[in-house]
Structure 1
Amino acid sequence: MKLQAADLARMKRVTVSMKDRDGNEHAYTGVAVGEILEMAGVTTGKHLRGENLTKYMLVKCADGYEVLFSLAELDADFTDRTVIVADQSEGKPLPPGKGPFRLVVPGEKKPARCSFQVTELVIKFAKE
């Protein structure tokens, strides 16, 4: 799924907080990844069981950086954490070099999966 600003603008907006490397807290606003996956027709909720639990989401960034998540890590039926694709920080558009989209993963001990300049979310089976 290619990320488009117009698509995200029409979806429900949420704000989450996340600390940076220096321990400063920042508010990010965007769309929950779970909602994006649902809109794209990806298996979620009560249907995320059995073989569907072998699916994962690969996050691709403009600089070639990639991270992945199991779908269960992103689904509200499995976790209370809300991972978002953000387009704003502190109520302002993300600055150049950080946007237009950033994956924000609250509660991680290391911010390694909080990715900048996200360009694509790819769903795959681990059994491929």
Structure 2
Amino acid sequence: MKPYIIPKLILSFLLICSFSRTFAQTTDAVKISGVLTKPYTLTSADLAKMPRVKVSRKDGDSTNYEYSGVLLSTVLAKGGVTLGKDLRRENLTKYVIIEAIDGYQVVFSLAELDADFTDEKIILADTVDNEPLLSTEGPFRIIVENDKRAARCIKQVTSIKIEFAK
């Protein structure tokens, strides 16, 4: 075997891995799954057709930004999640796990998202200041309107899953 073949194979492998990761980051869909009656995949086109909400929040640089998207409860309601008058008893033990492309996860109780329990706005955003989110933030990002820290404002959301606490 010629000595230059192995470095070319390694370079080819690295290029393929890099391309795969780049492709995954540009995917404009979020998998909605778990304890739902109608699990589905939400695309950018689907989100654009849903009722929009605007939320202002300061980010790490202390600049106020205006995000636009859809209430997370609305996204979940499309999948048939338990909300409103049915969110009681054992249904109050449900929680939502949101995951980003890099594996980062945040958790919300289902009651934190329900308008019958709170006026807090938690949205799945796709724009900031009337522009699409940057690729380093989107295409989807969770924005929590009044959290003091932005730790739950998860970027590059790829999945939203509803589970029961054990």
Scaled by the length of structure 1, the TM-score of the pair is 0.96
Greater length-normalized contact order (CA 8 Å, ≥ 6 residues apart): 1
Residue 97 (structure 1) aligns with: 136
Equivalent residue letter for 1:105 = V
1:15 aligns with 2:42: no
Map 1:1-128 to 2 at 5 A. 1=32, 2-127=41-166
> Is residue 3–residue 119 contact of structure 1 (8 Å, CA) maintained in 2?
no
* 1:100-120 deviation per Cα after TM superposition (whole angstroms, max 9, x unaligned): 000000111111100000011
Scaled by the length of structure 2, the TM-score of the pair is 0.75
Aligned length: 127
Give, in whole Å, the separation in 2 of the partners of 1:60 and 1:113: 11
Give, in whole Å, the separation in 2 of the partners of 1:120 and 1:3: 9
User: How far does residue 86 in structure 1 lie from its aligned partner after superposition?
Assistant: 0.3
Mean Cα displacement is larger for which, 106-115 or 17-26? 17-26
Structure of higher CA gyration radius: 2
Equivalent residue letter for 1:60 = E
Give, in whole Å, the separation in 1 of the partners of 2:135 and 2:146: 25
Give, in whole Å, the separation in 1 of the partners of 2:77 and 2:100: 21
Alignment gaps of 5+ in structure 1: none
Give, in whole Å, the separation in 2 of the partners of 1:87 and 1:23: 20
Alignment gaps of 5+ in structure 2: 1-31, 33-40
Mean Cα displacement is larger for which, 50-59 or 4-13? 4-13
Residue 13 (structure 2) aligns with: none
Structure with the bigger percentage of helix: 2
